[in-house]
Amino acid sequence: MIQKRMKSLAILLVLLLLSLTGRLVQIQLVSTESFSDHNVNLIESSVKQRTQVMKIDDGRGDFYDKNGRPLSHEVIPVLVLFPFLNKMDWPAEKVANIINEPEYLLRYELKAAKEPFAFGGKTPLKLTEEQSQAINDLKIPGVFAVKQKLEHDGTMAEHLIGTLTKSDELKAKSYPNRGLSPDTYIGITGLQHTFDEFLLSEGESKLVFHVDGSGGPLFGVDVKYVEPANPMYPVKVITTLDSDIQAAAEKLVDRHGIRKGGLVLIDIEKSEIAAIVSRPKINQRNPNENSGSKNRMLMQDTPGSVFKTVTAAAAIEHDLVPPGRTFNCDETIDGKKEPKKKLGTLDFEKSFSQSCNRTFGDLAKEMTDIDPDFLLSYGSKLGLIGQTGWQGEKYHSNFKQLDKEESGRVWNDKAVKKDKKLAAHAAIGQQDVQVTPLAVANMMATIARGGEKRMVTAVRKVSFNNGTTAIDFPAKEMEGERISPYTAMKLQSLLRSVVTEPKGTGASLSQLPYEIAGKSGTAQTGIDKRELNKWFAGYFPYKNPKYALVTVKLDSNDQEAGVTSLFKEMVEEIYRIETSSPVPD
């Protein structure tokens, strides 16, 4: 009986030893990089237990304005402290004297630390070059002055720049053969998405210090600075934005209480986005939340009377508005008595400056007999219909700079374009007409250039870390027909009259430091809710055009103010910036 029990116990011990041996083989030889159902990398976990790491740069490429100033981050010299200093006798007083901070603050932050950190909390203390040199000259283990990349809480032009995710599912779908780590970000909206292949991290830059089992330093093992194996990364995406003007634009849009809408500013000569603001803001806690993540400046909406510019171009080129022709602006577009806005009898120029619907309804009915496609045709000639952003052949594929840019349209159903009543309503920017604020700005830039229509760029180039250019984006013209130089000149005069005429809808802009040409627009978008889109689009200076600007407030109501005042203050702010501290381009 005793022998039988001993044999059973021996067998049990052997099985237990075999099981433990098998487990050790699995841990140390078989599943070292994907242990358990959680795919734990045991090698990495082991290394983490023996090291303390301070990340300096995540390795993902970054965005800069046209003058090379970072838009979403800054790189500053900081004081890095490792928590094992708590177990050492180190000259804290010397470090405190160098950075001009009390010694007790150093020790207080250090006492609470479990990982290496930059002294100063969420806003680390920014060191001078002299302070950085003096700290590193002390050669204290666990005390370093390094340059660290710090992400801004609020990114400039956040909708244009876009958002990121660590989603393993999306990474596997987008880059099935890359084997990206769980900590790697990829772009899902904006420029972060369209330029993602350039921006992907090639590895972090970090400080690594080896420690013993109790967390103390392994003396004789120096701190290591680890950086990506490829010195060409991370890349720099040089955008077309002017960060001074962009910052001013965002403040003004918020000051004017724009809940839905924004503004877009184009450099006319270069056909570049100088500033762009979309509201509502992105929800930083849930950046993919639907309403806030959309860039309204790239989305279709109803333009209202801004679209009369297209009808005017068609009427001019078909000689429908000879000198002396007048229109009864006491009647609505449907020939009824105007209940509110009685303007009397007006000629073509005053009809445009005072925004008489009847005039452009009548012209549309006449144009429908000549060419039922006139609105689509002239919208295209003015760079308003279709996509506006830069696109072209790059790396054997059609590359588009702007993410999810929508195309403008005139008709939902082309079969109704011969209906004169519907054509009249479309001619004043109602009915089915949908355009993006960016395209409206491009229309104004096209007119200011005398009819030359171009694609609009948001990025000038992508540079490698050593400064060489990886890819650039030369200016490109938009395909298709243009308006004649004569028509462009007449449109310029009409747009200027909106501001110079005493009863013009833009008369409040007549005293600005730049001469303005432009067009207002109010569109009904929700009849039941009495919702309105309010626009002002134009360019300046009139005689030497430099900027095209669109301001828009979407889904507002009758009682809310329009956006002409926002346009006005934006022009004043640009004048202030450009005359006080000009930055060479």
More confident residue, 56 or 289: 56
- In degrees and rounded to multiples of 5, residue 504 shows phi and psi of -65, 150
80-90: average pLDDT = 87
Please give the pLDDT value at position 444.
98
The predicted structure's pLDDT at residue 87: 84
Residue 374, pLDDT > 90, answer yes
Q: What per-residue confidence (pLDDT) applies to 202?
A: 76
Distance between CA atoms of residues 409 and 431, nearest Å: 11
Query: What are the backbone dihedrals phi and psi of residue 143, each rounded to the nearest 5 degrees, phi first?
Result: -125, 115
12 or 238, greater pLDDT:
238
Work out the percent of the chain whose per-residue pLDDT is above 70: 86
Banded model confidence at residue 16, pLDDT cuts 50, 70, 90 = confident
Q: Is the pLDDT of residue 43 over 50?
A: no
The one catalytic residue among 205, 271, 305, 463: 305
Q: In which band, very low, low, confident or very high, does the pLDDT at 335 lie, cut at 50, 70 and 90?
A: confident
pLDDT score for 411: 94
- What would the mean pLDDT of 42-57 be, rounded to a whole number? 58
Whether 305 sits among the annotated catalytic residues: the reply is yes
Give the pLDDT confidence score for residue 44 in this predicted structure. 46
The three-class DSSP label of residue 424 is helix
Residue 126 has pLDDT above 60, yes or no: yes
The mean of the pLDDT values for the chain is 87
Q: Smallest Cα–Cα separation from 431: which of 558, 525, 532?
A: 525
d(CA 303, CA 305): 6
The model's pTM is 0.85
241-269 pLDDT per residue, tens: 999 999 999 999 999 999 999 999 999 99
Range of lowest pLDDT (223-227, 231-235, 259-263) = 223-227
For residue 397, the model assigns a pLDDT of: 81
DSSP 310: H
Distance CA 321, CA 297 (A): 33
Query: Is the per-residue pLDDT at 473 higher than 90?
Result: yes
pLDDT of residue 524: 86
The pLDDT, as a whole number, for residue 20 is: 67
Q: Which domains does the chain have, with CATH numbers?
A: 54-231 (3.90.1310), 243-283+299-580 (3.40.710.10)
Residue 356 has pLDDT above 80, yes or no: yes
Of the two residues 559 and 92, the one the predictor is more confident about is 92
Select from 60, 59, 388, 393 the least CA-distant residue to 195. 60
**How does pLDDT run across 274-284, given as a tens digit for each residue?**
999 999 998 87
**String of DSSP letters for 104-172:** HHHHHHHHT-SS-EETTTTSPPPPPHHHHHHHHHH--TTEEEEEEEEE-SS-TTHHHH--EE--HHHHH
Which residues make Cβ contacts (< 8 Å) with residue 267, sequence separation at least 6? 240, 273, 274, 546, 547
Please report which confidence band the pLDDT of residue 425 belongs to, taking 50, 70 and 90 as the band edges. Answer: very high
pLDDT score at 496: 98
